[in-house]
Chains A and B, each alone.
Chain A
Amino acid sequence: MNEMNEFFIKTEDLYASYEEDDGKRVQVLCGISLGIKKGEYVAVLGHNGSGKSTFAKLLNMIHMPDSGKIYIDGVDITSDEMTERDIYDIRRKVGMVFQNPDNQLVATIVEEDVAFGPENLGIPSDEIRKRVDEALQIVGMTEYARHEPHRLSGGQKQRVAIAGIIAMMPDCMIFDESTAMLDPIGRREVMETIDMLRREKGITVINITHHMNEAVRADRVIVLNDGKVYMDGTPEEIFGEPYKLELAGLEVPQCTALIQELRRKGYKITGECTTPEKCAALLANFIGGGANG
């Protein structure tokens, strides 16, 4: 029981598959066993078809696994005893933001959309009002409360979608390639919002992404490949193995690649090199130190 309290999400030997139109079964996940702690910020990497989206959809009961167990906040969600009410409770606790900003907004007015989740939960009107105002403030969209979503930019739409989840007061938020369709400004808006949610709300974050520069911001990076956990560690550890990443169809950030190449050539550079700032400091120190020595 202690172990269950330690992990907010825990999966044991998960197998999942789906059926294609021609009836062929495709195995997507082959034995995933993971534990994610409360408040942890996890990036999940993997090429298209590596099973990362399926994994996310298992966590809030949109899909069901073929076998294996999933515990959310200590509750076994794969159990037959889950009632409809229990399912809504899991979906409230584990909120999800998707890739296409257009296809997840329901209402024609921003604040009405943010209210959609709490309304479904049957929360009293004045409480919804409070939550909506707070959620919009957190994502910085208060001044757009009465706007129509289709006139917003991609980044703004995603922030509205995030507010819609926040208003349900989740413990965990999953971002399923939520920045893939955004331009750099929109991407920055969303990433900063995620950082803030972590800081101020202590929400557990799972960010599924292709962008290595986003993965660098997480506490922990999990790489999925062929339906299995291929790598699992801190960003520094993961990007320290560029060749292994390339085998999984991924690449490392340019700065990390540079330092790794220098290390491979035998230069002993130690320290973190995932961002330009850290990398420059590392190199300046090394070159300076090298010149002195």
Chain B
Amino acid sequence: MAEIRLENVSYVYSEGTPYEISALDDINVCIKSGSVTGIIGHTGSGKSTLVQMLNGLVKPSAGKVLLDGEDIWEKPKEIGKIRAKVGLVMQYPEYQLFEETIRADIAFGPKNMGIDEKEIGERVLEAADFVGLAHDLLDKSPFDLSGGQKRRAAIAGIIAMRPEVLVLDEPAAGLDPSGREMIMKSIMGYKARTGATIVIVSHSMEDMAKYCDELIVLSSGKLLMSGKKEEVFGRSEELTSVGLDVPQITKMMNLLTKMGIPVSDSVYTVDDALNEIYKLL
């Protein structure tokens, strides 16, 4: 039950030096409570910076980040509390595992929050269940696990903090199709059980279409568009003009429209496309 609102947020790298680069420029956007929001943009569009602002890893050069209406930088000393509320899973999170056992690694976050041992134990098991890690793996070393298992253990490390907002930067990057699906399903499972707000950064438009209900599109540090998935994918020409993709099936349906075949222009899953085609047959 948490909403994040960005108000006139800008970020400048190496301010005041010759290397000054504007990474984000006057962003106004709202991530609705309980939504699954996708962030789309190229490498260098500012999306990684934006994501790191949501939990206070990066402080905006100007503007405010409001969590449930409160400025997260009101008390800079208490930014740790914000980081527990807004859990961030960075890219390739398996590279941050360091403890001797998976159990201890998942417990790292809750321990830093000052939670008592007994509850930590419960949270670790709960988090492992969310990501589908068998309990007998918990006492293994992180380095004995497969790539996909490591990734899930790392995500469990954030889930164990029970964040109200779970932010994931390319959670499925580099995994095979079944690994991708498993990760996405665990995230959706966490959402369904806790009602948390989910923010996902991904290059896969197919995944975005499948799992998100809201989308934020960034291009060269500016907010290009934001809104319901239908609205955003409905503007596919604008997306392709900045070099972004739309789901393959959307591309195909748009081609059909161009050929004069009357199909809806807001189709982004195979099932929707089938329904449209059936209407014509």
Name A residues whose Cβ lies closer than 8 Å to a Cβ of B. Answer: 21-22, 46-49, 99, 153-154, 177, 180-181, 183-186, 210, 213, 249-251, 253-255, 257-258, 261-262, 267, 276-277, 279-280, 283-284, 287-288, 290
Contact = CB atoms under 8 A, between A and B. Distances in A.
A90 B163 CA distance: 53
Interface string B160-180: 000000000000011111110
B147 interface: yes
B248 A184 contact: no
Interface string B175-194: 11111000000000000000
Contacts of A250: 176-178
Contacts of A257: 270
A49 B179 CA distance: 11
Nearest to B269: A254
Given A21-B144, A287-B261, A255 B249 contact: yes
Given A254-B206, A258-B270, 11 more contacts: A22-B144, A99-B174, A181-B173, A183-B43, A184-B203, A210-B175, A249-B178, A254-B270, A255-B249, A276-B252, A280-B256
A214 to B, nearest CB: 13
B42 interface: yes
Interface stretch (B81-89, B100-108, B273-281): B273-281
A41 to B, nearest CB: 21
A290 B148 contact: no
A267 B249 CA distance: 19
B222 interface: no
B245 interface: yes
Contacts of B173: 180-181
A110 to B, nearest CB: 19
B111 interface: no
A186 B244 CA distance: 12
Interface string B204-247: 00100000000000000000000000000000000000011101
Contacts of A186: 43
A258 B176 contact: no
B251 interface: yes
B45 to A, nearest CB: 10
Interface string B253-271: 0011001010000000010
B146 interface: yes
B261 A284 contact: yes
Interface residues of B, number: 33
Contacts of A276: 248-249, 251-252, 255
B42 A254 contact: no
Nearest to A273: B252
A258 B277 contact: yes
Given A184-B203, A250-B177, A280-B259, A258 B273 contact: yes
Contacts of B43: 153-154, 183, 185-186
Contact of A254 (B248, B255, B281): B248
A191 B270 CA distance: 25
Contact of B274 (A180, A262, A280, A290): A262
B41 to A, nearest CB: 10
A48 B277 contact: no
A257 B252 CA distance: 12
29 contacts: A47-B176, A47-B177, A47-B178, A48-B146, A48-B179, A49-B146, A180-B174, A181-B173, A183-B43, A184-B203, A186-B43, A210-B176, A249-B177, A250-B177, A250-B178, A251-B177, A254-B248, A254-B270, A255-B252, A258-B249, A258-B277, A261-B274, A267-B281, A276-B248, A280-B252, A280-B255, A284-B259, A288-B261, A290-B280
A48 B148 contact: yes
Nearest to B251: A276
A279 B255 CA distance: 9
Given A48-B146, A262-B277, A290-B281, A279 B42 contact: no
Contacts of B256: 280, 283-284
Contacts of A210: 175-177
Nearest to B92: A181
Among B177, B255, B280, find the residue whose CB has the most chain A CB atoms closer than 10 A: B177
Contacts of A251: 177
A284 B245 CA distance: 23
Nearest to A287: B280
A18 B277 CA distance: 50
A281 to B, nearest CB: 8
B42, B243, B281, most chain A CB atoms within 10 A: B281
Interface in B108-148: 144, 146-148
Contacts of B178: 47, 249-250
A261 B270 contact: yes
B176 A48 contact: yes
B252 A48 contact: no
Nearest to B260: A284
A42 B179 CA distance: 24
B249 A185 contact: no
A183 B148 contact: no
A254 B247 contact: yes
A22 B177 CA distance: 29
A181 B245 CA distance: 17
B248 A185 contact: no
